[in-house]
Amino acid sequence: MKKSSLLFLLAFIFILQNSFAQSQEFEDELFEYRAIETAVWAMPFMNFKTYRDALHDNGVDYNDVAYNSKIQNWKFQTATPNNTTPYIHFYWNIQDGPIVIELPKSEDGVGVFGTIMDAWQRPIDDVGAKGRDKGNGGKYVLIPEGYNGPLIPGAYTYTQRTNNGFCVLRPIIANASEENLAKATAITKKIKVYPLSEAANPPKMNYVDVYDKMLECTPKMDESLYEEIHAFIQEEPVEDMNLAFMGILKQLGIEKNKPFQPTEKEKKLFAEAAPKALEYMINQYHRELNPWMYEGKKWSVLVPPGAFETDWTYEYPSVFDYNAKGSLYYAIITSIKNYGSATFYLDLAETTDGQWLDGSSNYKLVVPANVPVDNFWAVTTYDLETASYQREIDKATIDSNMSKVKKNKDGSTTIYFGPKAPKGKEANWLPTVEGRRFFLLFRFYGPQKGVFDGSFELNDIEKIK
């Protein structure tokens, strides 16, 4: 073979190899991109699934009622819970037929309030004292689409779009005294969940106290996320709005009625994609989607635009905004049908100059005097990656009802944040975890006009050098 021909052949082989390498690199990038998009899209139902599975792992099955006999602590790892009232939780499945939920009437100064939701966390209705039954109690019947069987006369009846559903309730109590917590437990044990087919003779209920139990309710953002997504896809019907996304899932090896068998290379790509999806949602939620409350400051509202307009579905006539919905449900668990005026929330995750709050550093927040609220205000710390309580930290909140919290001479309150308490400031200190980022939620309980009309503003957090 002539030298020129040999050189041409070698050059041709080199070009083919290089082209193949570039093509393979593109395929890997596309796979990872699809995996990132999938994680964002799946966050609302993965948030529910992880919540349900955590309850199940602690002895709570379908139609059981879980409750906290005391205010939940850091072991309740779910998105942005409060720690001023205990939570009540239960879940069900209507695949085999309708489900009945019986709620008790408010009595002895105690009621319940919450929202019935489907697996996508779309609110079906608010229930309890501030919901549909106005505290009078009642029966709620959840039926599958197309159901035309017998119903309960006088019951509140709804069609549920998914097989799985759940409800998170809070008892309405004046404070967390032992007496009120006992009343909350008593009213909880009057809640019933059972199949409509057994309405004539409901089965005995199982009530499970999950206080101080380890409830890992936040999705793991690693390669196992995609195994969980595959598992959940098997449980639910495919809705029209998700048909295009099912095509993306197919490219990842996630299909309904087919096993999930990723290659070692795909597992590695999944392991790289999940944390990137989390970081994307963190940035979207805390920096991009939520409007700033005050000009030039870093406090933003809790819920991105679109939630109220679409009844928390983010389903518009021409688009399903899964990006906004997924980013929102990184930060919250549960929705609400009618967002009332009883509480208003603000979010803060960075300093004025745009630096994430770092648990290894020290900060202070000066809360102005005379916060315009009817009841009280509270500030709570959360881990930025999980959006839940910081682990191993029992003190997550300071509120204006705490008698030991010291005020400044002008009536303002300085709250300190950091891994160690400033000397003499322990009552005004919230601990943080070294090496972990964190964020704050400021809750106005009974917000007055000043919260909204601009006459009152919170200060930004300040880093202490």
The CATH number given to whatever domain includes residue 205 is 2.60.40.1610
DSSP string, 196-256: GGGTTSPPPP-EEE-TTS-EE-SPP-STHHHHHHHHHHHHSPPPGGGHHHHHHHHHTT--T
Please classify residue 151 by burial: count the beta carbons closer than 10 Å to its beta carbon, then call 0-12 exposed, 13-18 middle and 19+ buried. Answer: middle
Q: What is the pLDDT, as a whole number, of residue 339?
A: 74
Q: What is the pLDDT, as a whole number, of residue 14?
A: 60
Return the bridge partners of 107, or none.
Answer: 110
In the predicted structure, residue 188 carries a pLDDT above the cut 70: yes
Return the bridge partners of 208, or none.
Answer: 66
Q: What are phi and psi of 45, to 5 degrees?
A: -80, -25
pLDDT-derived band at 109 (thresholds 50, 70, 90) equals: confident
- Interval 12-17 mean pLDDT: 58
Return the bridge partners of 192, or none.
Answer: 102
Instruction: Say how many domains are in the chain.
Output: 1
Residue 198 placed within a domain: yes
**Residue predicted with more confidence, 9 or 35:** 35
Residue 366 placed within a domain: no
Return the bridge partners of 444, or none.
Answer: 344, 377
Residue 326 placed within a domain: no
Q: What is the pLDDT, as a whole number, of residue 174?
A: 84
Q: What is the pLDDT, as a whole number, of residue 5?
A: 64
Domain extent at residue 166: 59-213
- Interval 452-459 mean pLDDT: 95
Q: What is the pLDDT, as a whole number, of residue 7?
A: 60
Q: Which residue has the tokens 């870093």?
A: 298
H or E element that contains 331: helix 322-331
In the predicted structure, residue 2 carries a pLDDT above the cut 80: no
In the predicted structure, residue 6 carries a pLDDT above the cut 80: no
pLDDT in tens, 326-351: 999 999 999 988 876 678 999 999 99
In the predicted structure, residue 23 carries a pLDDT above the cut 80: no
Residue 36 placed within a domain: no
Q: What is the pLDDT, as a whole number, of residue 215?
A: 98
- Interval 281-302 mean pLDDT: 96
Residue 129 placed within a domain: yes
Residue 299 placed within a domain: no
Residue 459's identity, in one-letter code, is: N
In the predicted structure, residue 101 carries a pLDDT above the cut 80: yes
Q: What percent of the chain lies above the pLDDT cut of 70?
A: 95
Residue 228 placed within a domain: no
Residue 406 placed within a domain: no
CA distance 414 to 405: 9
Q: Do 329 and 278 form a contact (C-beta atoms < 8 A)?
A: no
Read off the tokens for 172. Answer: 């309405």
> Which is it for strands 373-383 and 65-67: parallel, antiparallel or unpaired?
unpaired
- Interval 216-224 mean pLDDT: 97
Q: What is the pLDDT, as a whole number, of residue 25?
A: 85
- Looking at every residue in the chain, the average pLDDT score rounds to 94
In the predicted structure, residue 29 carries a pLDDT above the cut 80: yes
Return the bridge partners of 125, or none.
Answer: 116
Q: What is the pLDDT, as a whole number, of residue 432?
A: 98
Q: Do 42 and 69 form a contact (C-beta atoms < 8 A)?
A: no
pLDDT in tens, 127-174: 998 889 999 999 999 999 999 999 999 999 999 999 999 999 999 888
**Whole-prediction pTM:** 0.92
